Amino acid sequence: MQVVRKRWKRLAALALLWFIALFPIPVLPIWGVSVNEQALTGIVIILVVISVPMALLAIFMK
């Protein structure tokens, strides 16, 4: 738990990345933008693949 307290800024940046990437998706139809499910799946997969090593680096990097 002490590691998380030391590196909360890096983890907050990672959470911000998730927020920026995924927040607009539910409100896009309200703005009149059609959402392509295949593109959305690709975005989520890429975000997960990038986020796993970044989270591990944020926690365990000195």
Q: What would the pLDDT profile of 12-53 be if each residue is shown by its tens digit? A: 888 888 888 777 777 778 888 888 888 888 888 888 898 888
* Number of domains into which the chain is organized: 1
In 3D, which of 30, 61, 21 has the Cα closest to residue 11?
A: 61
Taking the CA atoms of 31, 36, 39 and 41 in sequence, report the sign of the dihedral they define: positive
> At residue 62, does pLDDT exceed 70?
no
In this predicted model, which residue has the larger pLDDT, 41 or 3?
A: 41
| Domain interval for residue 56 | 2-60
Q: What is the pLDDT of residue 48?
A: 86
Half-sphere exposure of 48 (CA within 13 A, CB side): 6
pTM of the predicted structure, to 2 decimals: 0.57
Cβ–Cβ < 8 Å for 58, 6: no
In which residue are the tokens 């030391």 written? 6
* pLDDT at position 1 over 80: no
Token output for 57: 């680096």
